[in-house]
Structure 1
């Protein structure tokens, strides 16, 4: 479609919305007018244009038709996800503002856990918190997820015709602000009766579109760099012997993740061009290097592990478009990237203008190759931030 045609359609949608009588334009009416003008507009993007959350638009447009509101409660999301292990083959979708990770496969189940005793108070507290965020599986394997269920609020079952007329079934979860936490799409006929049973068992007795979504509060300003004992912070970084200790280090010094990278030891952090994500993915595909991609939000982190093949730019995103794995990155919104070394592990992280991590990558480690040399070599080729501009001067 030609650019001026797209503009005319977008303008027509805006005029249709504004032409509705004051007070008469319901959210559904506004959405239908917008869809008429921009039929390919994703629900999330439509919600942004209408100044509502995705959860509110989904509920307003679908409850009583294609959407069933499910129960709420502290333990409900975990129990629904536990039951979702019975769906078999699914597509798991996790997203944030500038990235989407979609993985198709079958989630693994946890083996029965032995009773653990003798832990000190801190480790026992960590273990209890970890167990509260485990839904009986999803650790490793094709569908690899990490949950923070306290940030899950609303749940819906969606059953609507797809482009081919076939009913598409999904479980969709949102946080208290109406932002998508995680989505699970049924990908097998065997999963249909399981989906229907989940809907019946967790159906909310009140099928209301009134969600009472909370307004997002402003995040506190980060601690000024001048208030951080950088020397001590760098020394503590150098003493890390496990990559998982990094979050605790940030907490102890009261710094944000990106701030910690900016202030880290010079031999442990290298700032790279944010568009280096394209080179990273292209080279990983070309050299067939096994990678891990971590992408998430405050409610869910999803992890892909393996080789990638087809990468290309399309639809305003830079993408991995493989049969069982899709990654969509709005990398033009990336403002910083880092190659990071912690406890012998090297990874690459990318951030947006608000200092939020969009996606991070690791090399796939094994007992035979705890430090994958092919991955180390790839990260070394990524352009340092400003290098291309300096070279052209």
Structure 2
């Protein structure tokens, strides 16, 4: 190769490296500026303002406070399995308009636990369920459901706080760079376990260029006119277990919020979006045991119990108990529903994109109806039609 050709290639490589480094530095600078202006802005919202994914934002810390972990094959599941050794953690799951945070110790599956005790549905569904179990997290303080096929990127973060204490976390993202789940170490004993996990699962690729995929286009909702509403309502009334509801939606090709609109008479009553405040204030005041489900398509986190402190703060309506936090941006809610299926009453809220943000159920004994205080509270939530009439 002639000398001037070698020089041209070297110059091109140097320019490419400078371009990549410069763009990364620009993102760091922009983020630093944004954090200085809005120190309480969540990383997810910061990423949107900066026009990148949250995973891309986190990756700017690679080589400093962030380590990329293995993400091929079953690696995310195995990392979560090892994370059972961390002891006390704070588990955080979020979507665009809600965040659920639970502090505690995850339960493990017993070595000889029968698969039948995990899922009573069809054998094929049990097999899928088993592929998405990471050795525990079913019930107990940290109660999670996983769809690991939607987990793509994994990172470990060790960030020194203002008090000098290192905050350690595992953070997972989907192919589009959206956070699907995070685990924060909450005990000194968990620190060496975390460090060993990071060493064992360290990815050989520590380059910040993730090449995240574009967000998938949401499937178009089937028009109501193409749905056999009569058969759908008959099938709704025939389900014997609330867990059969998702199969019903798939069978008829109906979205979840669409199902609320097409429900049998009396089975789904529309309530105001801000009824979520009335609900949380009611369960706190009356110490009603309830269940909260909040997820993002890749992870669902569940809280069961009572709450005490609820308040509006930072643009969210919140539960602010010591071991459980729930943050709901109810200004983005578009609808709420009180739903009755298979003898179970739930309350569900959807955002302006018809995505479910959060749902609530009563804690009840198996094969027994929900406690009357829950039924009364759900029945008293402000109806959307009543609110419209009052505003006229």
TM-score where L is the length of structure 2: 0.91
User: Residue 165 of structure 1 aligns to a residue in which SS?
Assistant: coil
Distance 1:186 1:23, change over 3 A: closer
Q: Distance in 2 between matches of 1:392 and 1:97?
A: 29
> 1:111 maps to which residue?
110
Q: How far did residue 291 of structure 1 move?
A: 0.7
Per-residue CA distance 1:114-136 (angstroms, 9 max, x = gap): 5669xxxx822111100000000
Alpha-carbon distance change, 240 to 313 in structure 1, aligned in 2, over 3 angstroms: same
Write the distance in 1 (CA, Å) between the matches of 2:114 and 2:303: 30
Q: How does 1:244-393 map to 2 (within 5 A)?
A: 244-367=243-366, 369-393=368-392
Determine helix, strand or coil for the equivalent of 1:168. strand
CA distances 1:38-82 after superposition (whole Å, capped 9, x unpaired): 33333222211110000001002x101000000111200110000
Distance 1:392-1:214 versus aligned 2 partners, 3 A rule: closer
Indicate the residue corresponding to 2:39 in structure 1: 39
CA distance in 2, matches of 1:135, 1:361: 25
Query: In the alignment, which residue of structure 2 is the partner of 1:226?
Result: 225
Matched, 1:149 2:156: no
Q: Which runs of 5+ in 1 are unaligned?
A: 1-21
Alignment of 1:99-138 (within 5 A): 99-113=98-112, 123-138=122-137
Structure 2 unaligned regions, length at least 5: 1-21
What is the aligned partner in structure 1 of residue 6 from structure 2? none
CA-CA distance at 1:328 after TM superposition:
0.1
CA separation in 2, counterparts of 1:155 and 1:289? Answer: 37
1:387 positional shift: 1.0
Q: Which residue of 2 aligns with 1:211?
A: 210
Q: Which residue of 2 aligns with 1:83?
A: 82
Alpha-carbon spacing, 1:115–1:375, altered in 2? closer, same or farther (3 Å): closer
For residue 58 of structure 1, what is the aligned residue in structure 2?
Answer: 58
Give the direction of change, closer, same or farther, for the CA distance of 1:24–1:246 in structure 2 (3 Å limit).
closer
Q: Alpha-carbon deviations, 1:178-236, whole Å to 9, x = none?
A: 00010000000010111001000000112111111000122121100011110110001
- Distance change >3 Å, CA 169–CA 114, structure 1 → 2: closer
Do the aligned partners of 2:102 and 2:323 also contact (CA within 8 Å) in 1? Answer: yes
- Deviation (angstroms), 1:334: 0.3
Distance in 2 between residues matched to 1:102 and 1:144, nearest whole Å: 11
CA distance in 1, matches of 2:168, 2:113: 36
SS class of match (2:221): coil
Give, in whole Å, the separation in 1 of the partners of 2:353 and 2:290: 26
Partners in 2 of 1:325 and 1:341 — Cα distance?
27
Which residue matches 1:10? none
Q: 1:367: Cα distance to partner?
A: 4.2
Conservation of the 8 A alpha-carbon contact between 2:100 and 2:326: yes
Q: Deviations over 1:2-38 (max 9, x none)?
A: xxxxxxxxxxxxxxxxxxxx97962112212222333
Bigger drift between 344-353 and 382-391 goes to 382-391
Deviation digits for residues 274-333 of structure 1 (CA, Å, limit 9, x no counterpart) = 100000000000000001000010110000000000000000000000000000000000
State the alpha-carbon separation in 2 of the partners of residues 200 and 45 from structure 1: 31
Distance in 2 between the 1:392 and 1:27 partners? 47
**What is the distance in 2 between the residues matched to 1:293 and 1:29?**
38
CA distance in 2, matches of 1:309, 1:243: 28
CA distance in 2, matches of 1:294, 1:24: 37
User: How far apart are the structure 2 equivalents of 1:182 and 1:67?
Assistant: 16
Secondary structure of 1:189 counterpart = coil
Aligned to 1:19: none
- Which residue is 1:13 aligned to? none
